[in-house]
Amino acid sequence: QQQVKQSPQSLIVQKGGIPIINCAYENTAFDYFPWYQQFPGKGPALLIAIRPDVSEKKEGRFTISFNKSAKQFSLHIMDSQPGDSATYFCAASMKSGGSNYKLTFGKGTLLTVNP
């Protein structure tokens, strides 16, 4: 059972475009929602994250929008650049065993930004 559903699977935009990646979850026990960026041959790296008491968070050109009632969140990349071409993963975290947290990932979106 996939707990975090991510779409689209792949996305191609032109430089300067605004790609949007969407995620949805079912388990209301999730209480932290990070996005990770992965370049080929590298491990995922934390990009930006949001907690459910906030509807939007911006860091540079990256924005997360969060809709708690719909159990959905999305990543927007403003003024996208070819260097943003990577695989993006949404994730959701909840407590698992004492004070530890378990991170569950979406299936990833391969973003290509053409020059």
Partner 1 sequence: DTAVSQTPKYLVTQMGNDKSIKCEQNLGHDTMYWYKQDSKKFLKIMFSYNNKELIINETVPNRFSPKSPDKAHLNLHINSLELGDSAVYFCASSQLLRDSYTFGSGTRLTVV
Q: What does the binding site for partner 1 look like in residue numbers (CB under 8 A)? A: 32, 34, 38, 41-46, 49, 87, 89, 93, 96-105, 107-108, 110
C-beta of 88: minimal distance to partner 1 in Å?
10
C-beta of 16: minimal distance to partner 1 in Å?
26
Residue with Cβ nearer partner 1 (46 or 54)? 46
Residue pair 70/63 in contact (Cβ under 8 Å)? The answer is no
Residue with Cβ nearer partner 1 (43 or 115)? 43
Query: Which residues, listed in sequence order, are joined to residue 45 by a DSSP beta bridge?
Result: 37
C-beta of 15: minimal distance to partner 1 in Å?
24
Residue with token string 């934390």: 46
Residue with Cβ nearer partner 1 (41 or 83)? 41
CA-to-CA distance for 5 and 26, rounded, in angstroms? 9
CA–centroid distance for 87 within its chain: 10
Residue pair 20/76 in contact (Cβ under 8 Å)? The answer is yes
